[in-house]
Structure 1
């Protein structure tokens, strides 16, 4: 595993995306422990993309407009659903002192869906991982799995950091209702914009 791979992966992971936004929302709304579950779910959501890349299914998404569109619009629908949920009742960004009552399973489920329903993630891995697999390796599949596992471990650690930083502002936000309302609207808007961006994206 090269230093170049680690640095490139870190840069990619640090860039704010749907997983980062969701983890930070959970950190603000439900605290650090819940944000760890969100980070865990987002990391698990990478597994389908890794699997698709290893077995070549990502190539199908790249060449088949229908397959790509189906997965893409499922992702769009889910992101818009998340935005609507926040506007409707504050879920998953329920900024209340007792909001940790929401089950860890629901947090993990939403986090998995956010990443799993993004076809561009599979195509990213298809283009990204092979670049760091030596042509001289005897088992390229194993090499890709090792690289993917490292990427996932880094994702989890970085997302936990994002969630932890967000949770530090939790008490400040809860004590200021106007800030709470602004944050809810902001996160809802971000999820809606991410859904729109995914809807307009090309293969």
Structure 2
């Protein structure tokens, strides 16, 4: 069993890392501000599902492939960059809606959930980060390293769910304000498009 001191240190580090501005929490903030806090929470669930995949990848050793294979790393990161560019184009193309007789555009639960999964799963740097971060808190003397990695991955996911959920909730207040103003909607869509394009560029030029 992992010592309580190690768990406390790990949770502190995980929450701190989740709070540091990065692609995932910025993505949650933008989606929540545009589509509402419920949408942000749905995206958060998708992102955390992606973290489950990364946890399993590290546990099974698959993440090593992305660390050692330039081709695998580049294929995955460009797939993620292309998807972010697609979201950027959609944001720039979005039109403001009038308050009378129209509903603010929304996405289905499935669409938002898949956005979160794709956003997280197509970032090879997350897999490599997990590969470097999780093993630091394991100890073969305490038993199965595989079990420890799965437990630590679960704790990291819970931490991310908490932080991203709070970001989604409070960002939803921005969404309520934007819905009341067509000009604010235009500005928000352009900001979102720029942010998504910036994240795509950042991912495309990233190195292992």
TM-score (normalizing by structure 1): 0.91
Give the match for residue 200 of structure 2. Answer: 195
Q: Once the 2 structures are TM-superposed, how far is the Cα of residue 20 of structure 1 from its aligned partner?
A: 1.5
Q: Does 1:21 align with 2:26?
A: yes
Give the match for residue 178 of structure 1. Answer: 183
Q: Once the 2 structures are TM-superposed, how far is the Cα of residue 95 of structure 1 from its aligned partner?
A: 10
- In 1, Cα distance between the equivalents of 2:35 and 2:87? 16
Q: Does 1:46 align with 2:16?
A: no
Give the unaligned 5+ runs of structure 2. 1-5
Larger Rg: 2
Give the match for residue 73 of structure 1. Answer: 78
Asked if structure 1 preserves the Cα contact closer than 8 Å seen for 2:82 and 2:200, the reply is: yes
State how many pairs are aligned: 201
Give the match for residue 127 of structure 2. Answer: 122
Q: Once the 2 structures are TM-superposed, how far is the Cα of residue 40 of structure 1 from its aligned partner?
A: 0.6
Asked if structure 1 preserves the Cα contact closer than 8 Å seen for 2:45 and 2:161, the reply is: yes
State how 1:147-166 maps to structure 2 within 5 Å: 147-166=152-171
Q: Go from structure 1 to structure 2 and tell me whether the alpha carbon gap of 1:99 and 1:175 turns closer, same or farther (over 3 Å shift).
A: closer
- Secondary structure of the residue that 2:207 maps to in structure 1? coil
Q: Once the 2 structures are TM-superposed, how far is the Cα of residue 30 of structure 1 from its aligned partner?
A: 2.3
Q: Does 1:138 align with 2:143?
A: yes
TM-score (normalizing by structure 2): 0.89
- In 1, Cα distance between the equivalents of 2:197 and 2:185? 18
Give the unaligned 5+ runs of structure 1. none
- In 2, Cα distance between the equivalents of 1:57 and 1:25? 31
- Secondary structure of the residue that 1:202 maps to in structure 2? coil
The two structures, once aligned, show a CA RMSD in angstroms of 2.0
- In 2, Cα distance between the equivalents of 1:95 and 1:191? 25
- In 2, Cα distance between the equivalents of 1:36 and 1:147? 23
Give the match for residue 59 of structure 1. Answer: 64
- In 1, Cα distance between the equivalents of 2:176 and 2:196? 23
